[in-house]
Chains A and B, each alone.
Chain A
Amino acid sequence: MEAWRVEVAVRPNLPDPAGKAAGAALRGAGLELQGKVRSKRGYLLGAELDRSQVEQFARDVLVDPVQEQFEILAPGEVVPPHTPRLSVLPLPGVTDPVAGSVQKAVVDSGLPSVAAGTYRAFEFDPANPAEGLWTTANECLANPAIQRVVADRVPLQLPGPGSQPDLDVQAIPLAGLDGDALVSVSVDGGLALDETEMRAIQDHFAASGRAPTRMELETLAQTWSEHCIHKTLTGKIRYGDQIIDNLMKTAIFQVTKTLDRDFCVSVFKDNAGVITFDDEDCVCIKVETHNHPSAIEPFGGAGTGVGGVIRDIMGTGLGAKPVASTDVFCFAPPNMPKDEVPAGCLPPQRVLEGVVSGVRDYGNPMGIPTVNGAVHFDEDFVGNPLVYVGNIGIMPKDKVEKQPNPGDSILVIGGRTGRDGIHGATFSSLELHTESETVSSGAVQIGDPITERKAMDAVLRIRDENLVSAVTDCGAGGFSSAVGEMAEGLGAEVELSDAPLKYEGLAPWEIWISEAQERMVLAIPAEHVARALEICEEEDSEAVTIGTFNDTGRLVIRYQGTVHADLDLAFMHDGIPAWERQATYTPAQLADPELAAETDCRQALLAVLSDFNVASKEWIIRQYDHEVQANSAGKPLVGVCEDGPADAAVLAPKLGSNRGVVLSNGLIPRYSKIDPAAMAECALDEAMRNLVAAGGDPEYTAILDNYCWGNCRKPEQLGGLVHASFALRDLALAYHTPFVSGKDSLNNEFNVGDRTIAIPGCILVSAMSVIPDVRRTMTTDLKRAGNQLVLVGRTRRELGGSVYWKTRGELGACVPRVDASYGKSILDGVYRAIQSKSVTAAHDLSEGGLGVTVAEMCIGGRLGADIDLDAVITDGVQRAEEILFSESQSRFLLEVPADRMADLEVNLHGLDFSTIGSVTEVDRLCVSQGGATVLSAEVDDLVHAFKHPLDLDGTMTQQGDR
C-alpha cells in the first residue's frame, strides 16, 4: 500500500545520537567512512490523508518543535538521489510497536484512522562509495532476522492487507510409513520429533482409524519438545551400571521432598516456585534461559526472554506481581579477534551489547527493577551465548492455587497473534549451525513491553476481584501449550477465528502454535467474564474469549466451525515414549602447570582484577533501572563512589514493611572443564556465600537450578551432567536448601564445518532468602580505618580453573571442592556474626580469591588495607600468589571494629578464622609475607584495573579514576 512519508531529523547544529552511533558501528566494522551520518526517524501514514493533514500531524505530534525538523514525501514519491542513503524497515510480520502509538495519536489529533508504520533512515556524505556502504550497513545497521535494508530508489510502502489464509485441515497420512519416512515427516515439518516419538503418534492414530492433521502433529511436537517437557532429565539414563529413572526426580525434587521445609508453598508444579514471605503474602521466583533466540537476534531474543519470565510470574497461581529481575549471561570475550569468530556467529561484542540493550529495553519500560546478575566470559560460548533471565514476584497467600473448572471461559489477554516465533519450542531443542541465522528467522520475536505491562495490570486486577480460577502465560508453543496445559485432566473447545490477529493470512495451525509475545490465558467462570472484559477495557488491554473448558478429556480446536484438531489429552500429556539415554563420565586428564613464583604480586593482582570475569559490570548495571518500585534496600553498586560490587540484592517488596528478600546467584562454568561436579558444588556455595554476605538467612533460603549443557544425546555430555547433578544434590541436602524451580537448555552446541563447539556444561544456582528486616543487611565496602580484617575459612592450594591461572594461559587440575558440613557451619557462623552486628562489611571470596576480595572492599570504601599472609589459615600453601589467588570455597572476609572482636569470636566459635590485617587511612593495599612486602598498590590503580575493561563506551571511568 502506498503511503505518505514523514522524515524527522534533529536540526543540523544539534547532536544526533542515532547518527553518531550508526557511524561508530560502521567504522567499528572496518568501513572507512567519510563525514558524518545523519539519522532520520521515518513514519509511513495511510495515503487516505491529505497533505495538509499529514503536515499538521507532523507538526503537532511527530516533530519536536525545539529540536527537530521534518520533510514530507507524497505517496509514490522517491527520495532525490543526490545523497547516499538507506532505510531500515521491519520485515513484514515483525512487530512494530511504535506504529500502534502513531495510529492512536492520529486519531487523538482528530484525523481519520489510517494504517501506520515506522522506519529509520541514514544519510551519508556523498564522498562515500555506495557499494561499501551497502554491504557494511547490511551487516551492522540491521539484523536480517527482523529487518531489511533498502536503498530508497523505490517508494516505501505499508504492508498490504495480507493474503487469504490457507484453511485446509491438512491430514498427514502416517499409516504404513517406515522409520525413515516418519523421520522425514518430522524433519520437513520442523517438528524435532525422533523416530520413536513419530511411531507412537503413528500407532495412536492407527488405533483411531484416521490420519493426524497438521495442527495435531504441531501440537504434539510442541508439547513433547525438550523445551516444554525436559525429556532428557525426566527419562531413563543408563549411567555406568546404574539406571537412573528420571534424574530430575532423583536429584532435584528429592532434595526438596527430603528437606520438607515449611516455607515451601508450591514447588515444581507451577510457572514459578512459591515460598512464604509473611502472614499475608508469598514470594515466587523463576529463572529461564533464552539462549537460542539470543544467539540469532540478541536484542529481540534477550528482550522477549525477559518478557517471557515476567509472564511466568504473572501466570503463577492466580497471578503474582513482578518485583525484581535478575539476569545472568555467558558470552565469548568481547575482544575476540574477528577471524576467530566462526562463520554464522555474531561477533561477541555485538551479542553482549544487543543482549544488554534487549534486557534494558524490556525490563525498564515494564517498571521492574533489574537488581542482580552476573556475566561470565569464555571462548566456548561464541556459538551459544547463554542468556538466563529471572524474575521474582509477590502474591497473596490465598492466590497460590489454581484450578480451571469445566464451564470456565478461556480468556486471552494482551498482544495479538502473528506469525512471530513459529516453532520456537522445537527450534530451541535443536543445535545451532552456520545457517541458523538465515533459516530460523521465523523463531525470532520482538517484544512490546507496554502491551505486557497493560496485560499485567489487567491480570492483577482480575485476580484481586476474585474473578479467575486459573491463569498461565503463552510461552513456548503459544496457545497450544498454554491451553493444552490448563486443559490437562479436563478438556477444552477452542474457536481460533476469535483470536485477534496482527494481520490476515495466518493458517489456523499457525495461530495455534504462534509464540507471539505478551499474551496471557485465563480461565474465567462464566458469570465473571463480563466484569473481566470490563477491567481489560479500562486497562486498555485487548481481551477475547476463544473457548471453554469442559470435562470431555479431549482438546477440540476449530476454525470457523471446522475441526482442525481433536486430540486425546491423556495421549498428549502422557503418550510420549519413555526415553532411555546412555551416559558415561570420564574424568578429564589434566595437570597443574609449573609456574615460576611471582616476584611482585602487584601486576598479577591488576591482571586478575582486569580479567573480564572479575572486572566491574558497572557499564551494564547502570543501563538497567535498579531503583523503580522503591523496593531497593541493598544496591548492586555500593560504597563511597557507588561503584563497589555488591554480593546480592536486598529488596523490601512491600512498601511500608521492612521485611525483605535477599537475591543472589552462583555460576562458574570454567570449573566444568576440569570437573562438572566441582562446577556444580561451587555454583551453589557461591550463591549461598553471596546471599549470606549480604545478610541473607541460610536457613530460610530457596534455590533454583538452571542447567545449560552441550548435546546430551552424546553419552559423555550427559555423563558430565549426571555427575554434576549428584554433587549438587548432595550439597543442597547438606545446606538445607530446597530447590523450588528449575529449567534446562541441553543443546548448546554449534556446528561449523566438521567442528563442534560445545559450551562448558554449567548450572546457574539462584538463591532467594526471606529476612525479617532489610535494615540488618550488609555491604562489601570497607567502612573505617582501624577496623580489623578477619578471614573466615581455610585456604587450600586450589587454583585449577582460577582466574589467576587463566591470566597466565593455564587451566590446571586442582579445582576447588566444597566440604559440605564445613561449608554449612561457615555459612551459619557468618550469618550469626552479621545479625549480631559484629561486622561492618562482608564479602565472600570467589573468582580471583583473597586478592580480588580485599581489592574490591578497598575500592568500595576508597580505603586501604594492610594484609599479612602469614596470618592466613592454609593447608600448607606457601607461595604468596597461591594464597592470594586460590579460589577455595567457604571463605569470607569480614571487617570488624576492634571493640566487636569479642562478639565475633563468640559467633564464629569453633570455625577457622583469623585476623589477617586492618583497614588503613592511606589509599593503598599492602600485602606482606614473612615480613617482606609482596604487593603494594594504590587504590586508584585498583579502581582503574577493575573498572576499565568492560567500560565499553568509556563513560564509567572518566571520573577521577586516572
Chain B
Amino acid sequence: MAAPKVLVLRAPGINCERETHHAFGLAGGAPEYVHVKKLLQDPDLLDQFKIFMVPGGFAYGDDIASGRVLANEIRRKMGARMTAFVDRGGLALGICNGFQALVKLGLLPRLGGGDLEQQVTVCHNLSNHYECRWVTLKSQPNRCCFLDDDLTLRFPAAHAEGYLLTKDADQLRILDQEGYVALSYVDENGQKTTEYPVNPNGSPAGCAGLTDVTGRVLGLMPHPDRAYLPHNMPGWSRDGLAPKGDGMVIFEAMVKAARAES
C-alpha cells in the first residue's frame, strides 16, 4: 500500500517543518512541503493528500494575534475546501502555532460541524510568560479517530499562549465531557490538572489538545515533533534510551489511520 501523502504546510514564520516532515517520514508517511502561497493559488493541491499538517512556529510573526493572519487567508481563500477535505475523510494535525491557527481558522473544535467560524480561543498563559518545559500528557477518553485513550506521553511545551478560553462554562463542559479535550496535562498521579508548572498555561480541564466534531482533526500545544527521536527525550541519561521518542505515537497513529481510510 502506498505511503499516505502528508501536506506539510510552509508559511513565513512557520519553523518546525523540517522535524515534522522527518517524523512523518519515519512513521511511514510520504511528507511533502507545500508553501501556503502555492496552496492558495492552487487549492486543488489539497485533494492529493491524506493528511494536512500545520507545523509550529510563528506564522507571520504572530502579528495581530497568534495564528491569526494565516487563519484569515486560509479561511478567506479556501475555507470551504478545508471543511470538505476533513468531511470527506482527510486528517489534519496542528502543533503549537499550528494548533492556534486551526482554532482561529475554526477547524477546531467546530462544534455542530458547520462552516468555519472561530468558536474558542487560545490565549496568554496564566503565568504571563513564554516558557519552554517538558510536560506529561495523558490522552483522555476522546472522539479523535486515531488517538487511543489513556496514553501517557512526555513532550516539550514551548509557548506563551496556550490557555484554552471558551465562550462560557457550558461550552467548556461540552468540550471536556464529549471527548473534544483529547489530551490533558497531568500531575504525577496521572490526574488532569490546572496547576503550574505541570500545566504550563493553566488551561481548564488541563487541556493540552483538542479534536474536532469529526474526530479527524487534532491540535495540541506541546511538541511531539521535538520528542520523536530517542535522544530527544529528557530522561535518557537517567533511564536509558527507548527505541523511539514518545512523539512517534502521534505520527504513527495518523499514518495508520490515513492508510485505513484509503
Contact = CB atoms under 8 A, between A and B. Distances in A.
A640 B238 contact: yes
B81 to A, nearest CB: 16
A61 B68 contact: yes
B100 to A, nearest CB: 11
Contact of A102 (B16, B64, B77, B197): B64
A756 interface: no
Interface string A49-71: 00000000000111011110000
Contact of B15 (A453, A655, A955): A453
A105 B67 CA distance: 12
A775 B231 contact: yes
Nearest to B237: A779
Contacts of A623: 129-132
B152 interface: no
Contact of B12 (A15, A453, A652): A453
Contacts of A630: 19, 22-23, 225-229, 232
Contacts of A955: 127, 129, 131, 196-197
A427 B123 CA distance: 41
Sort chain A's interface into a size bin.
35 or more
A627 B128 contact: no
A627 B226 contact: yes
A450 B128 contact: no
Which of B77, B156, B196: most chain A CB closer than 10 A? B156
Interface stretch (B54-62, B85-93, B142-150): B54-62
Interface in B18-37: 18-19, 22-23, 35, 37
B244 interface: no
A655 B229 contact: yes
A625 interface: yes
Contact of A781 (B15, B126, B225, B238): B238
Nearest to B21: A655
A17 B128 contact: yes
B238 A97 contact: no
Nearest to A781: B238
Interface string B118-146: 11110110111111111000000000000
Interface stretch (A363-371, A662-670, A927-935): A363-371
Which of B23, B72, B241: most chain A CB closer than 10 A? B72
Contact of A633 (B23, B156, B231): B231
B170 interface: no
B129 A61 contact: no
Contact of A540 (B37, B69, B167): B37
A775 B16 CA distance: 24
A625 B197 contact: no
Given A66-B120, A630-B19, A655-B22, A958 B196 contact: yes
Contacts of A540: 12, 37
Interface in B217-255: 223, 225-232, 234, 236-238, 241
Contacts of B198: 959
A64 B65 CA distance: 8
B123 A64 contact: yes
B73 interface: yes
B128 A953 contact: yes
B49 to A, nearest CB: 19
B37 to A, nearest CB: 7
Contacts of A547: none
A104 B226 contact: no
Chain B interface helix/strand/loop/mixed: mixed
Contacts of B227: 630
A628 B13 CA distance: 13
Contacts of B238: 639-640, 779, 781, 783
A625 B158 contact: yes
Nearest to B245: A630
B165 interface: yes
A783 B234 CA distance: 14
Contacts of B196: 955, 958-959
Given A630-B232, A775-B241, A365 B76 contact: no
A775 B231 CA distance: 7
A20 interface: yes
Given A367-B16, A630-B225, A625 B132 contact: yes
Which of A364, A365, A540, A628: most chain B CB closer than 10 A? A628
Which of A20, A67, A624, A656: most chain B CB closer than 10 A? A67
A102 B63 CA distance: 8
Contacts of A450: 12-13, 58, 60-61
B173 interface: no
Interface string A73-111: 000000000000000000000000110111011001110
A621 B131 CA distance: 9
Given A365-B58, A652-B231, A783-B238, A628 B37 contact: no
Contacts of A548: none
A360 B132 CA distance: 11
Contacts of A101: 60-61, 63-64, 69
Contact of A632 (B56, B57, B69, B232): B232
Contact of A365 (B15, B72, B124, B223): B15
A151 interface: no
B124 A622 contact: no
A365 B56 CA distance: 10
Given A630-B229, A652-B231, A656-B22, A104 B118 contact: no
Interface in A578-624: 621-624
Contacts of A629: 16, 18-19
B130 A17 contact: no
B76 A109 contact: yes
A955 B120 CA distance: 27
A332 interface: no
A14 B126 CA distance: 11
B83 interface: no
Contacts of A783: 238
Contact of A104 (B69, B119, B237): B69
Contact of B226 (A100, A539, A621, A632): A632
B72 A61 contact: yes
Contacts of B229: 630, 652, 655
A314 to B, nearest CB: 14
A622 B132 contact: yes
A155 B68 CA distance: 28
Contacts of A634: 237
Contacts of A627: 132, 156, 158, 223, 226, 232
A27 to B, nearest CB: 15
Interface in A799-836: none
Nearest to A41: B64
9 contacts: A61-B64, A364-B130, A367-B57, A622-B132, A625-B132, A630-B19, A652-B231, A774-B231, A775-B236
Closest 8 CB pairs of A and B: A367-B15, A101-B63, A630-B19, A66-B121, A633-B231, A365-B58, A450-B61, A98-B63
Given A67-B121, A630-B226, 15 more contacts: A67-B123, A101-B63, A102-B63, A364-B130, A538-B35, A538-B37, A540-B12, A623-B132, A625-B158, A627-B132, A627-B226, A628-B56, A630-B22, A778-B237, A955-B131
